[in-house]
Amino acid sequence: MSAWHGPTAGTPTPEARAAARVAEKNAVPVGMPSALWVLIAGFIGFAASFTLTVEKIDMLIDPHYQPSCNFNPILACGSVMGTQQASVFGFPNPLMGVVAFTIVIVTGVLSVGRVRLPRWYWSGLLAGLAMGVVFVHWLIFQSLYRINALCPYCMVVWSITIPLFVVVASITLRPLAGNPVARVLYQWRWPLVALWVTAVILAILVRFWYFWTTLI
């Protein structure tokens, strides 16, 4: 009887080893601080979006319901959630946040668990966040200059989406060590976030300065 000289059970074939090497090469390493930030940001964004969804449902059930985030004539979720801009695609905007931040949470959990995700995944997440950033800034403009009111929970989503986009961009582009844009973005990501958020805060202060001065 001739002996079997093929691969034994449990021994990866050359093709499997080659595929594993390709997958390892395409996987994007994520530092623990960045992984934790993605996870925490996902939870905060999800909590704000979910709360807004519940508040919207309560308003639909009871037209006289006053949302918990109605603090004054300017900081009032109810004034924002009742507008057309709050349901751009025919359903409440927060529902998109619930779905999007769920994906971010899963990504954060995997990254904290040291699971290396492929570059195409991070690129897709970055593209989604880029669209989210554009949408957020459109909402900021609408809130400041069309609706003339601010939704506190919405502002939580704004403040999370901007740094989340920058962090995910730095994660996605960091392996491209020879790319000067990637290197600068990673080194200056937090100053960039601080400058970006400061610009939004200044826009809010300037737009409603007449109201803020009455609170002093």
29-86 pLDDT tens trace: 888 999 999 999 999 999 999 999 999 999 989 888 888 889 999 999 888 998 999 9
From 213, 212, 214, select the one nearest 75 (Cα to Cα): 212
Half-sphere CA count of 11, side-chain side, radius 13 A:
6
Please report whether residue 18 resides in a domain.
no
* Residue 136: per-residue pLDDT: 96
> Under 8 Å CB-to-CB from 23, ≥6 apart: which residues?
118
Please report whether residue 168 resides in a domain.
yes
Query: CA dihedral in degrees (25, 124, 156, 33; nearest 10)?
Result: 0
Residue 23 pLDDT grade (very low, low, confident, very high; cuts 50, 70, 90): very low
Mean pLDDT score of the chain: 86
Please report whether residue 49 resides in a domain.
yes
Which residue range forms the structural domain that includes residue 118?
Answer: 29-215
**Residue 126: pLDDT over 80:** yes
**Residue 101: pLDDT over 80:** yes
The total number of structural domains in the chain stands at 1
Distance between CA atoms of residues 173 and 167, nearest Å:
10
Please report whether residue 64 resides in a domain.
yes
Distance between CA atoms of residues 66 and 32, nearest Å:
41
Please report whether residue 22 resides in a domain.
no
Please report whether residue 11 resides in a domain.
no
Residue 79: CATH number of its domain? 1.20.1440.130
Please report whether residue 84 resides in a domain.
yes
> Under 8 Å CB-to-CB from 109, ≥6 apart: which residues?
39
Distance between CA atoms of residues 36 and 121, nearest Å:
18
Segment 5-17 mean pLDDT: 55
Please report whether residue 12 resides in a domain.
no
Q: To the nearest whole percent, how much of the chain has pLDDT over 90?
A: 60
From 44, 28, 58, select the one nearest 161 (Cα to Cα): 44
Q: Residue 76 has which token pair?
A: 């009032």
